[in-house]
C-alpha cells in the first residue's frame, strides 16, 4: 500500500520521499531539506503515540539529547517539530547498515574487527557521558556502520540528562529498554547511569565476538532474571582461543555490581586500548559487510529495525525495546512491546509476539514428552521464584535502612545509598565554616527506614566561604573600586589618607591586605588618597633670592618673587616669605618671597618755623635722626634735607634754630 505520508512537506522545508523502515514507535523516511538542498532522514512518531505525552516527551528528549552532542561518532540531530499532526525529528542520513545487519550477515567478528567497531562506539558514548547524558539503549540496532566504514551511535530516544556526579536517571516506575542489554540496576530499580551504558556496550562486545547475546529465554522476564542473578559467561566459552585478556575486558564491563565496572565509556575505552597494546592487536578497517550486502542492507540505516520472531528461518532473535512496568499491557506485532515487569503476565517472546500453544498429539515420542515436562517444571520454578520475589518485596524486602551519611565524603555517601537500595538526590552544595569541602552536611531523610528506591537528598559542603580583594584594585579610582567591591559581601569603610605617589581620589591600599581570605560581612578598610601630604615652609629670610628659590622648589613648591624694603635686611636679600616659615602649605602650592631693595623711605616733613622741640618730635616720628644747629633763638629757620624730599629711614636731618 502507498504510504500517505510520502510526498508531504513538513514545515514547508522537509519533503518526505521514501519510507525506509517502520518500527513500533516511529517510521523513518528519506527526505530532502529544501532550504539547504541536502538529503536527511526524518523520524516520524507513530500516529497512535503522538497524543501520549510520555512518548512525545521521549521523542523530544531524543532531539535535545542528540543536539547537545557534536561528535563524529554520534548521529547528529538538526531539527525537531510538529506539523500536520505529525511529531518528527530530522537527523543525519547515514548510508550503510546497522551492526545487527552485519552480525546477521557475518555471524560473528574477529577480536580486531570487534575492537574496530567498539572503539568509535565508546568514543561517541564518552562524549555523551562527559556532556552528562546516559544513552540507556545501547544495542547493535543503534550502532550504524556507513559504507565508508564510519561508525555512529544512534537513537537517543531513551537518553536522560544526569544532574551530578554519581546521579542516576529513572523512568518514574516504568522500565524502558531492550531487555537483552539492560543492566541489573535498571532491571531491579529502573535506575541508570553511565555505567549502565558500559554494561550494554560489554554485552555488544560479547555478541560481536560470539554472534549472539549472552542470555536467551522464552520471555523478557526470563532474560531479565539471568542479568540480575548470573555472572556474564566469558566469550572463550563460545569461541575457544579468545585471549583471556579479552574475557576479562568483557567481564569487567558486565559485572553485576556497577561500582566495580569502568566509571564511564571513557574508562572502558582506556581499558580496551590497554588490552589492544598488551595483545599487539593491529588496527583493521571497520567491517562494512559490503561483499555480502544486498539491496536492503545498504540502504540508509538510521531506522527502527523490523521486529523478528525467534522462529523466523535464518534470522536470530532480534529483541526490541521493551517497556516494563505495572501499568502496561502486552504489545502486538511491533518492535516495541510493553510487558508487566514485576508480576506474572501473558507469556511473549522477546519481540513481543504470543507463541503458539502446543497441543499434545497422539503418538508423540517419549523424549519429546520428557523435554516438554522439563520445560513445564522450569516454567513452574520460574513462576515460583517470581511470586516469592514479589512476596518478599511486598513484605520486608522493599524496606531498607538509611545509612549514617553526615560527615562522610560525597562519593562514599553515594555508594552507601546505592548499596542500601536508595537513590541519591545529589547534590545541593552550600558553604560551611565547620565542614570540609566535599563532605555531607545533611541528608533528608537522615536515618531510619525507607522504601527501596527512595530519593535521599544530600547537602554537600563547599567548605568555608571566603572572598579575596583583587590586588590590582590598588591605585584605581575610588568609584571603580566601589563597583568591584559591590560583588564581594564585605563591609567596606573608606578612610582618607595622604599619599605622595597615588593621585587624589584613588585607592592607596586595604586592610586586611589584598589577597587575604575574607569571611562574609567582614569589615574592610579602604584607604583613599588625599594627594601629597602638606609641606612645611622653610626659613629663607636673609638668603639670596636664588638660594631661597632652590630650597623651596626642592620641596615641591612653586616660587613667586616680589620686592620690598626692609630696615633689617640688606638690599638684595630675602626679607619675607608667604606663607611664613614653619607653616604647612599644600604640596606644589605657590610660595612668595619678598626681596629687599633697600631700607624704607619717608618724606621729610616741613618743620621750618616750628619750635625746636616740636620740630624734633615731627622728624623723629618720621623715622629720621635730628641734628640741631642753634644760633641764639628758639625757632627753626632752615632744615636740610628740605621739606618734601624722600629719604631713607634713619637719614640725618639738620635744623638751624635762631630767633624768629
Bridge partners of 251, per DSSP, are none
Q: Which contacts of 339-347 are long-range, i.e. CB under 8 A and separated by 24 or more positions?
A: 339/219, 339/220, 339/221, 341/175, 341/187, 341/220, 341/221, 341/224, 342/390, 342/393, 343/386, 343/390, 344/383, 344/386, 344/387, 347/218, 347/219
Q: Among all chains, which residue has been given the C-alpha cell 597494546?
A: 277
Q: What is the 3-state secondary structure (H, E, C) of 416-433?
A: HHHHCCCEEEEEEEECCC
Angstrom distances, CA of residue 54 to CA of 158, 176, 342, 440, 455: 11, 12, 20, 35, 22
What's the half-sphere exposure (Cβ side, CA atoms, 13 Å) at 465?
11
* β strands within 94-227, DSSP E: 96-98, 133-134, 143-146, 151-153, 160-161, 169-170, 175-177, 191-192
Local structure of 122: helix, strand or coil: helix
248: enclosing H helix or E strand: helix 244-253
- CB neighbours (10 Å) of residue 472? 9
- 423 is an active site residue: no
DSSP 8-state class, residue 467: B
- 413 close to 458: Cβ distance less than 8 angstroms: yes
Catalytic residue among 137, 155, 349, 432: 137
Enumerate long-range contacts of 308-317, CB under 8 Å, 24 or more apart.
308/351, 309/349, 309/351, 309/353, 310/349, 310/350, 310/351, 315/104, 316/103, 316/104, 316/211, 316/212, 317/216, 317/349, 317/350, 317/351
CB-count exposure of residue 277 (10 Å: 0-12, 13-18, 19+): exposed
Q: Which residues are catalytic?
A: 137
Amino acid at each position: 500500500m502507498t504510504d500517505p505520508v510520502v510526498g508531504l512537506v513538513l514545515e514547508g522545508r522537509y519533503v518526505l520521499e521514501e519510507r525506509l523502515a517502520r518500527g513500533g514507535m516511529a517510521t523513518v523516511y528519506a527526505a530532502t531539506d529544501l532550504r539547504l538542498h541536502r538529503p536527511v532522514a526524518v523520524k516520524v512518531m507513530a500516529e497512535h503515540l503522538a497524543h501520549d505525552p510520555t512518548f512525545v516527551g521521549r521523542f523530544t528528549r531524543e532531539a535535545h539529547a542528540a543536539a547537545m552532542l557534536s561528535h563524529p561518532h554520534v548521529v547528529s540531530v538538526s531539527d525537531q517539530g510538529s506539523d500536520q499532526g505529525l511529531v518528527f525529528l530530522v537527523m543525519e542520513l547515514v548510508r550503510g547498515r546497522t551492526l545487527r545487519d552485519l552480525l546477521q550477515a557475518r555471524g560473528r567478528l574477529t577480536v580486531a574487527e570487534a575492537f574496530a567497531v567498539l572503539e568509535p562506539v565508546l568514543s561517541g558514548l564518552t562524549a555523551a557521558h562527559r556532556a552528562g547524558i546516559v544513552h540507556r539503549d545501547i544495542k547493535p540496532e543503534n550502532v550504524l556502520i556507513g559504507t565508508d566504514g564510519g561508525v555512529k551511535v544512534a537513537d537517543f530516544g531513551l537518553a536522560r540528562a544526569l544532574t551530578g556526579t554519581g546521579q542516576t536517571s529513572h523512568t518514574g516506575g516504568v522500565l524502558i529498554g531492550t531487555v537483552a542489554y539492560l543492566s541489573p540496576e535498571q532491571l531491579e530499580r529502573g535506575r541508570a547511569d553511565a555505567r549502565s551504558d558500559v554494561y550494554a556496550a560489554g554485552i555488544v562486545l560479547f555478541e560481536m565476538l560470539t554472534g549472539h547475546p549472552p542470555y536467551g529465554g522464552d520471555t523478557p522476564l526470563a532474560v531479565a532474571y539471568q542479568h540480575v542473578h548470573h555472572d556474564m559467561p566469558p566469550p572463550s566459552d563460545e569461541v575457544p582461543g579468545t585471549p583471556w585478556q579479552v574475557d576479562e575486558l568483557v567481564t569487567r564491563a558486565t559485572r553485576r555490581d556497577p561500582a566495580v565496572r569502568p566509571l564511564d565509556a571513557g574508562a572502558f575505552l582506556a581499558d580496551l586500548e590497554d588490552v589492544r597494546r598488551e595483545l599487539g592487536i593491529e588496527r583493521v578497517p571497520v567491517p562494512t559487510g559490503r561483499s555480502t550486502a544486498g539491496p536492503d542492507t545498504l540502504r540508509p540505516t538510521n531506522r527502527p529495525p523490523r521486529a523478528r520472531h525467534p522462529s523466523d528461518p535464518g534470522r536470530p532473535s532480534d529483541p526490541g525495546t521493551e517497556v516494563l512496568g505495572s501499568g502496561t499491557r502486552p504489545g502486538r506485532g511491533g518492535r516495541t512491546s510493553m510487558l508487566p515487569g514485576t508480576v506474572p503476565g501473558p507469556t511473549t517472546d522477546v519481540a513481543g509476539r504470543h507463541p503458539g500453544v502446543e497441543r499434545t498429539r497422539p503418538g508423540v515420542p517419549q523424549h519429546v514428552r520428557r523435554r516438554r515436562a522439563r520445560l513445564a517444571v522450569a516454567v513452574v520454578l520460574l513462576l515460583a521464584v517470581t511470586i516469592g520475589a514479589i512476596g518478599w518485596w511486598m513484605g520486608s524486602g522493599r524496606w531498607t535502612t538509611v545509612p549514617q551519611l553526615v560527615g562522610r565524603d560525597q562519593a562514599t555517601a553515594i555508594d552507601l545509598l546505592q548499596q542500601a537500595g536508595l537513590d541519591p538526590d545529589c547534590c545541593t552544595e552550600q558553604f560551611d565554616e565547620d565542614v570540609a569541602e566535599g563532605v555531607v552536611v545533611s541528608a533528608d531523610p537522615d536515618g531510619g527506614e525507607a522504601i527501596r528506591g527512595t530519593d535521599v537528598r544530600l547537602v554537600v559542603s563547599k567548605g568555608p566561604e571566603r572572598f579575596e580583594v583583587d590586588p590590582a584594585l590598588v591605585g584605581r579610582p575610588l568609584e571603580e573600586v566601589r563597583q568591584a567591591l559591590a560583588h564581594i559581601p564585605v563591609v567596606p569603610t573608606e578612610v582618607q589618607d595622604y599619599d605622595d605617589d597615588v593621585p587624589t581620589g584613588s585607592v592607596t591600599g586595604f586592610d586586611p591586605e589584598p589577597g587575604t581570605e575574607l569571611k562574609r560581612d567582614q569589615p574592610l578598610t579602604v584607604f583613599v588618597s588625599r594627594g601629597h601630604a602638606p609641606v612645611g615652609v622653610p626659613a629663607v629670610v636673609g638668603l639670596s633670592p636664588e638660594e631661597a628659590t632652590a630650597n623651596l622648589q626642592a620641596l615641591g613648591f612653586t616660587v613667586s618673587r616680589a620686592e620690598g624694603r626692609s630696615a633689617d635686611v640688606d638690599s638684595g636679600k630675602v626679607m619675607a616669605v608667604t606663607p611664613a616659615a614653619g607653616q604647612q602649605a599644600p604640596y606644589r602650592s605657590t610660595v612668595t618671597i619678598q626681596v629687599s631693595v633697600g631700607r624704607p623711605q619717608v618724606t621729610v616733613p616741613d618743620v621750618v618755623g616750628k619750635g625746636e622741640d616740636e620740630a624734633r618730635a615731627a622728624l623723629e616720628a618720621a623715622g629720621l635722626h635730628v641734628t640741631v644747629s642753634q644760633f641764639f633763638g628758639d625757632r627753626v629757620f632752615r632744615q636740610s634735607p628740605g621739606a618734601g624730599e624722600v629719604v631713607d629711614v634713619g637719614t640725618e636731618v639738620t635744623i638751624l634754630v635762631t630767633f624768629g
